[in-house]
Each structure stands twice: as C-alpha cells, then as structure tokens.
Amino acid sequence: MSREIVTLEVDGALLRPLRESDVDSITRHANDRDVWRNLRDAFPHPYGPDDARKFLAMQAEPSSTARVFGIDVGGTIVGACGLHPQPDVYARSAEIGYWLGSAFHGRGLMTKVVRAVTEFGFGHEWMERIYASVFEWNPASMRVLEKCGYVREGVLRKSVFKDGQLIDAALYARVR
C-alpha cells in the first residue's frame, strides 16, 4: 500500500494517520485490560506512553507495508484500525486488525470503521482478500465483521494462548 496521506470519514469519527501528539490519547484508551484481552500479546498491558511511541515508530518505518488509521472522535484518538498486507503466496491478502477504547463500545462505531477500512483496502486492485482472527470470547467483534460482509471460514481450535487460557479463534474473511 502506498504511503500517501489518506483520511476517511465515517459517521462519528475521522480515520486519519497517527501522529506524535496522539501519544496521550492512545495511552489513555489503550491502557485497558479489556482491550488487551482481545489482542495479540504484541499489544502490552499495562500500556504506557512508551508503548504508544513504539507503536507510532512502527507505523513510520519505511519498510512497513501496514496502513493504520487512528480513530479520531472529537480530536482524540480512541482506537485504531489497520490493514496488514501479507507476504509471499498470500500477497493478494491483508489482515485487518482493530481496537477501540471501552468507553466507545456499543455505539456501532467499529462497524463503520471496519466497513470504511475494508472498502479502502479493496480500492487497491491487487487486494483480493481481507481476513481477521477473533478470539472465542469476543462475539462483539464477530458481529462487527459479519455486519461488514465478512464470512466465518472456520474455527482454529485451541490455537490461542491468552490470559492464561488456551482458546479457539474464529477466522473471518471477505473476498472481492
């Protein structure tokens, strides 16, 4: 994906590139055990300002192919959604990942965000498939994907060790 600056508007939020001035708001909304519990361990808990700076630095690396949008509500970053193009034989696919501060759950915001980022991804002619893996205890995220046209392709049994538990993950995908 190219590095041009892109913003996307959805009802209730602006999806925009992250910047250094977002460190405090990222930290405030990311430092939440309930957010951490639904993400890979690369997303730490507790989550501090240094973690936010590392996250911003990863997005700025010239070798990064990911496109990550901050979810800006009223000038504050309350979450993020990104597309991560895959290498090698999976080069026509991208993984979508997202998180949203707990104070913003249950408002339908993430459905709008995932829909917009998915459409952005399919705007690239090489993109044929976008997929996500969701932990078994996160039915809200499964509903978000289903509302956005993703189909449950299967269950990866006992594939995730998180929070001291071995759990299943559901694999969702949407194809062009």
Rounded to an integer, what distance in angstroms lies between the CA atom of residue 90 and that of residue 97? Answer: 17
HSE value, Cβ hemisphere, 13 Å, CA-based, for 30: 28
Question: Residue 145 domain-assigned?
Answer: no
Q: Is 152 a member of any domain?
A: no
Q: How many residues does the chain have?
A: 176
Whether 102 shows a pLDDT value over 90: the answer reads yes
Q: Note the pLDDT of residue 70.
A: 97
Asked, for residue 109, whether it belongs to a domain, the answer is: yes
Q: What share of the chain is helix, strand, coil (3-state, %, to 5)?
A: 30, 35, 35
Q: Per the structure, how many domains does the chain have? A: 1
**14 part of a folded domain:** yes
pLDDT above 90 (res 40)? yes
Q: What band does 1 get if pLDDT is binned at 50, 70 and 90?
A: low
* CATH code, 14: 3.40.630.30
The answer to whether residue 112 sits within a structural domain is yes
pTM score over 0.85: yes
Residue 79 in any domain: the answer is: yes
The identity of residue 104, as a single letter, is F
For the cut 90, the answer to whether the pLDDT of residue 62 exceeds it is no
**Do residues 172 and 152 lie in contact, with contact meaning Cβ atoms separated by under 8 Å?**
yes
User: Which is more confidently placed, 61 or 95?
Assistant: 95
CA distances to 58, 103, 110 from 52, in Å: 10, 19, 21
Question: Does 71 score more than 80 pLDDT?
Answer: yes
Is the pLDDT at 2 greater than 70? The verdict is no
